[in-house]
Every structure is written in C-alpha cells, then in structure tokens.
C-alpha cells in the first residue's frame, strides 16, 4: 500500500507521540474503509486503537475504535450555592462520606437498585446473553460510578459558584456489548475486526451501542440526581439543571463531513459548531467548559481530557503514596484511598492547558 492510498491523518499534539502510539495509528491507517483519521492532543496508548483518536469510515464499523465503555462521557451542572459552602473541613468531610454512600462504585444488592428510564428498561438488545445482562447487572449497576478514572467532583468556577462534574459510562454492559460484537466481526488484519453496516451484524452492533450510549447518559444524570439529594440534605443546595452540559467521548455516529461517514470517537468529544462540552483535567488541575467550533479537519471533534502521560503500570512504579498526597494537597478526597489512587495521580496526566493550546486553531 502506497502512502498516497493510506487514510489521510491530521494531528494536534501536546507532546510528541510515543513509538507505540505512532505504530498503532499507522496500523489503523492501513485498515479497510478508513477514510480519515484525526489525532487529538490527549492521545495515548490503549488496546487495539489508541484513546484520543477519531476515525471516519463509509460502511465498516470498528468496535475497537469506540472501545468497551460505550457512551462514557461527562456531565457538568451548577448548584445554587457558592463553593465556600465547603470550606469548613467538617462539612466537607460529611459531604464526602455521604456522596460515597449515595453513589457507590458498584452496587451488589438488587433491592437497592435505582429505576432506569422507561425507554431503557423496555428496549431489547440483539442477543439473549446481552439481554440477560441488561436485566441483571445492567439494572443493578445503574447509577453507579465505576472505577479507573471515573469520578464525581465538586469544583468552583471563576465566579466562585459550585459545580458538579460526573465522569462515568455504560458500566459492565458496554464492555459486554463490544466483546459480543467483536466475536461476530471479520478479522481485517493489524489486530482489528470490523462489521459492515449493510448487513445484520453491523446493524445489530449499532442498535446495541446506541442503547449503551443512552444508558451511559442516563447513568450520569441519575448519579447527578443522587448527588443533588445529598447536597440538598447537607447544604440546602440544589442542582440547576438548566445549566447542565452533557457530552460523551466513546461512540460511533453517522455524520456529514463532505459525505455520509461513520465517525468513531474513542476518547474524543464531538465539537460541532456551538456544541458544548466538559474537558476535565487531572485530579489536581482545573477542568474547562468548552464550545465547539465545528473544525472539519478534526472531524468536528475535541480532546476529551488531559490524557495519560504514563501508563498505569508506569505510574504505580513512579508515584508513591507520599507523592500522591503531596500532589493532592489542595484537594478534599478520602485519604484512606490514597494507595489506590497512585495510578491516577495528577503527575501521570498531561498538562490540560497544553492540551487546550494544541487545539487552539479550532
């Protein structure tokens, strides 16, 4: 395959790409039906397809270019209280404890499950195994946070107002959907598997992924509602839903970019003209509300966060619990979990301002 026949690629980088990242993207450029690739400033290595990459195709769907946590994304919403309401350590500590009880990482008791929106409960997935999981684990884990870099965070804006940010996705059922459909997909080389939207297998994946995306969106809203209950009880503060910003960064979507294309975003936000998003920094840095400019060379996409500079393995080798505590000195969190947070330390992420600068032309 000649260079001229490879999919065109544009990059906006906050730092030079590692060799492994470059090689993974080159494999993707060689894949069948890949029409265009946009590489975001927060790009980093992940299995099969890097996080922070946008892929356009005409008829083939690559579940690996969406990832397992289908619909994972962000929700930001303001409260009707100043951030100074949490200045007192005693109050902040009680709120922190209450939040941990209201929104668990996982839920194991079905009797404690929170009701899903009717359209999610009545939907049917494409395979009996996925249906069984939707009715069991999907129901139990609804309105739970998950692990890894998923979080609930309370922050002050530049005017001193308190905001809630939620980062979560489709929980275990998103991964099950990806894995099931990968088994149905065709091996196209380079470690990649594809489905064709023109047949039943491709249509089945799109149906299930669309459900997972809606589930993830509803999951974040349900989490926010649980946080709102805590904040009203503890601070007499209410969520101002009219301020809500919601976006996701793991999906495939039919879009118009000089023609009908399927846009895969894995760790990239949609950023059409006027489209609002939430761009989180690390646990120790600011986050940003952003507005899309509809930049076509980037397939109307944006970075989805700071992006990892170190893998989890490298982070745990480099960041001690003492270093984490020092980096998090200005942040209220459950100090008993410091050991578990070492691979999410602020220093293992890129500078969020450098990420923003890399895409300033947008």
**What distance in Å separates the CA atoms of residue 70 and residue 177, rounded to the nearest whole number?**
8
Q: State how far the Cα of 224 lies from the Cα of 230, in Å rounded to an integer.
A: 10
Q: Are the CB atoms for 193 and 64 separated by under 8 Å? A: yes
Name the residue among 282, 273, 298 with its Cα closest to residue 359.
298
C-alpha 186: how far from chain center? 26
Helices (H), the chain: 19-29, 89-102, 118-121, 128-135, 137-141, 171-184, 200-235, 312-318, 321-327, 352-358
Are the C-beta atoms of 154 and 239 separated by less than 8 Å?
Answer: no
Catalytic residues: 304
What is the layout of strands, in order, in the sheet containing 60-61?
60-61, 192-196, 186-189
Determine the 3-state secondary structure of 253 from DSSP: strand
Contacts by residues 135-141 (CB-CB < 8 Å, ≥ 24 positions apart): 137/171, 137/172, 137/173, 138/171, 138/172, 138/173, 138/215, 139/110, 139/113, 140/107, 140/108, 140/109, 140/110, 140/113, 141/106, 141/107, 141/171, 141/172, 141/173
């Amino acid at each position: 395959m000649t260079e001229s026949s490879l999919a065109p690629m544009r990059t906006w980088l906050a730092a030079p790409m590692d060799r492994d990242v470059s090689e993974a993207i080159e494999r993707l450029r060689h894949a069948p039906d890949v029409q265009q690739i946009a590489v975001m400033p927060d790009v980093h290595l992940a299995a099969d397809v890097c996080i922070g990459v946008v892929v356009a195709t005409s008829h083939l769907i690559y579940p690996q270019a969406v990832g397992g946590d289908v619909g994972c994304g962000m929700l930001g919403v303001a409260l009707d209280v100043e951030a100074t309401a949490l200045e007192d350590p005693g109050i902040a500590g009680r709120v922190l404890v209450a939040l941990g009880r209201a929104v668990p990482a996982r839920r194991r008791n079905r009797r404690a499950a929170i009701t899903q929106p009717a359209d999610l409960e009545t939907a049917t997935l494409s395979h009996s195994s996925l249906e069984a999981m939707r009715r069991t684990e999907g129901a139990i884990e609804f309105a739970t946070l998950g692990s890894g870099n998923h979080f609930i965070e309370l922050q002050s804006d530049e005017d001193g107002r308190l905001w809630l940010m939620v980062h979560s996705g489709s929980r275990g059922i998103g991964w099950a959907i990806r894995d099931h459909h990968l088994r149905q997909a065709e091996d196209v080389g380079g470690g990649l598997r594809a489905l064709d939207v023109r047949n039943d297998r491709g249509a089945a994946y799109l149906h299930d992924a669309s459900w997972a995306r809606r589930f993830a969106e509803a999951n974040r809203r349900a989490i926010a509602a649980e946080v709102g209950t805590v904040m009203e009880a503890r601070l007499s503060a209410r969520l101002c839903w009219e301020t809500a910003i919601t976006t996701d960064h793991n999906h495939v979507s039919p879009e118009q970019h000089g023609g009908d294309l399927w846009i895969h975003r894995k760790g990239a936000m949609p950023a059409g003209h006027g489209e609002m998003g939430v761009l989180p920094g690390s646990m120790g840095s600011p986050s940003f509300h952003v507005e899309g400019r509809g930049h076509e060379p980037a397939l109307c996409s944006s970075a989805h966060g700071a992006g990892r500079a170190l893998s989890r393995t490298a982070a745990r080798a480099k960041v001690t619990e003492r270093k984490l505590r020092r980096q998090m000195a200005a942040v209220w969190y459950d100090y008993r979990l410091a050991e578990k947070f070492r691979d999410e330390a602020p220093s293992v992420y890129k500078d969020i301002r450098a990420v923003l600068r890399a895409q300033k032309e947008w």
